[in-house]
Amino acid sequence: MIIQFLNACNLLNDKLFEGVDGLISSIPMADWLLDAILDSIHTLPLLFIVFLIIEAIEYFYADKINQLIKSAEKAAIAVGAALAIIPQCGFSIIATSLYLRKYLTKGTLIAIYLATSDEAIPILLTQPDKVHYIIPIISLKLIIGIIAGYLIDFVLKDTKYVPITENIEEHSGCCHHSIDERHPKELLIHPLKHTLNIFGFILVITIFLNFFINVCLQYPCVHNFFHNIRFVEPVITAILGLIPNCAISVGLTMMLINGTLKFSAVMAGLLSNAGLGLLVLFKQHGNYKDTAKIISILIAISIISGYILQMFNL
């Protein structure tokens, strides 16, 4: 049903952009550059619709979602991981703030980080022929997050939950909008800003990937080099995933779509990519030893998961 809807949207999209495609195609440029520009432009309408739906979920249900994680107590790991799967801006930030005030255990925080769904799902929804990746990504992030969370708390004996009696200080989301105080105008403005922001990343990354595949990989030495480092891809992508910027998840997803990276390597990067929550942890956590421990556990789980998937030739 979803795939049929996306295919219908794409057919309508093609009709809408017929004139634009013809105009851009008339400009002299390399085929790989033309394909990159056209492919990127075609993602705009559906990308906006997806972000509009996400914004509506945040606007009407954010308080309920946050309250669930605050009141979950011993079920916080499973609840937090399940809520983190929903694409939304700022959930990892809220979770980090709760952890810094000792309202969440380390296992709960890392479970949320591992399960956090960033730009991967919206981008895959704009590619009907790649939608089949969504269920495996969501399922793996959820399962790995829950198992890792409970295991971490069991090993570290971290089972203390403090009742929440104060409000969490306000934080800004990816587009510098408040994630605590929402206004009706943001129902349209933020999805539009976010669509243009992500479109910019998609365009730049797609141009780079098309150039790399169609030009750089034609040289035997370059092709052999990247073929030889396949084994360490999960390590590289997991480290890159730590960068608190949505461009990373966009880049990893686009490389999965283009076949530049294997699913196992992309999953390693998406697992470690906890968004702006990591930035808040770096900036506000005074205990650098604890921060290093969280990052080490996060990246270790991401790399190990990547290699396990690689063993199954995924």
Mind listing the pLDDT tens digit of every residue in the chain (314 residues)? 555 555 555 565 556 666 666 677 777 778 878 888 888 888 788 778 877 877 777 777 666 666 666 666 667 888 888 888 887 666 788 888 888 888 888 999 999 999 987 778 888 888 878 888 999 999 999 999 999 999 998 898 766 555 444 444 545 555 555 555 556 666 777 778 878 888 888 888 888 888 877 777 677 776 676 667 778 899 999 998 888 777 788 888 888 988 888 999 999 999 999 877 888 888 888 788 899 999 999 999 999 999 999 999 88
- Report yes or no on 265 lying in a domain: yes
- Report yes or no on 90 lying in a domain: yes
Asked if 229 contacts 214 with a C-beta cutoff of 8 angstroms, the reply is no
For residue 242, give both structure tokens: 């730590």
- Report yes or no on 86 lying in a domain: yes
Q: What is the pLDDT of residue 158?
A: 66
How many structural domains comprise the chain? 1
DSSP 204-222: HHHHHHHHHHHTGGGSHHH
- Report yes or no on 55 lying in a domain: yes
For residue 158, give both structure tokens: 């971290």
- Report yes or no on 73 lying in a domain: yes
DSSP 184-208: TTHHHHHHHHHHHHHHHHHHHHHHH
Q: What is the pLDDT of residue 308?
A: 95
CB atoms within 10 A of CB 67: 11
Domain extent at residue 55? 2-17+29-311
- Report yes or no on 179 lying in a domain: yes
Say which amino acid occupies 285.
H
To the nearest 10°, report the CA torsion of 135, 140, 142, 146.
160
- Report yes or no on 24 lying in a domain: no
Asked if 277 contacts 113 with a C-beta cutoff of 8 angstroms, the reply is yes
Q: What is the pLDDT of residue 186?
A: 66
Q: What is the pLDDT of residue 168?
A: 47
The CA-to-CA distance between both ends of the chain, in Å, stands at 26
Q: What is the pLDDT of residue 85?
A: 86
pTM beyond 0.75: the answer is yes
Q: What is the pLDDT of residue 165?
A: 46
User: For 234, left (φ over 0), alpha (ψ -120 to 50), or beta?
Assistant: alpha
- Report yes or no on 149 lying in a domain: yes
